[in-house]
Amino acid sequence: MTDKVAAFKLALGNYPTGVTVVTACNDADEPIGLTVNSFASVSIDPLLILWSLDKKSQLHPYFTAAKKFAVNILASNQEHLCTLFSSKIPDRFAQAKWSTSVHGLPILHDTVATLQCTTFQQIDAGDHTIFIGQVLAIDNAQKEPLLYHRRHIGEIPKSFYS
């Protein structure tokens, strides 16, 4: 690894992010999903969000073909879902509580929020694809989010609120 890549990873690893699981359905209408922390808002008018996916991911072809997807923002007590959906386990959904939404998307239960989106645009960006979604529906809950910082997963420290 070059010094510049190592410095880049160190710098961005020191930037805390939320943790999401992005879900959709494959060609056979089966649920697919993976852990993503490259998630951000883009626009209010229209409501747009973005996330990115490595082109080498085994799920990349399915997400590029998907017309819609859901971003499930994980709660502080859902570290197990973060680990599950970042694993290579074939049937991740068998170990998660989820249901199919009115938009036909797999939605994880008990999250902080879920944004159901249509695929608005896909942008080629180096070794990743950036997915921009137009938000169709939003479900919110009053929960603390799960965070990723310096390769650690956890909740916001209680001292943060004091």
CATH of the domain at 114: 2.30.110.10
End-to-end Cα distance, the chain: 40
Tell me the whole-structure pTM to 2 decimals: 0.91
Check pLDDT > 70 for residue 160: no
The pLDDT tens digits for 13-43 are 766 778 999 999 999 999 999 999 899 999 9
Predicted pLDDT at 155? 74
Q: What is the rounded CA–CA span in Å between residue 52 and residue 131? A: 6
145: domain range? Answer: 18-150
Residue 162 lies in a domain: no
For all residues of the chain together, what is the average pLDDT?
91
Q: What is the CA radius of gyration of the chain?
A: 16
Residue 5 lies in a domain: no
Among left, alpha and beta (phi > 0; psi -120 to 50; other), residue 68 is beta
161 backbone dihedrals φ, ψ, rounded to 5°:
-85, -10
Residue 12 lies in a domain: no
- Return the H-helix or E-strand segment holding 151: none
Domains: count for the chain: 1
Residue 29 lies in a domain: yes
- Return the H-helix or E-strand segment holding 33: strand 31-36
Residue 59 lies in a domain: yes
Q: What is the rounded CA–CA span in Å between residue 120 and residue 56? A: 22
Residue 160 lies in a domain: no
Residue 66 lies in a domain: yes
CA dihedral angle for residue 107, residue 22, residue 154, residue 145, rounded to 10 degrees: -60
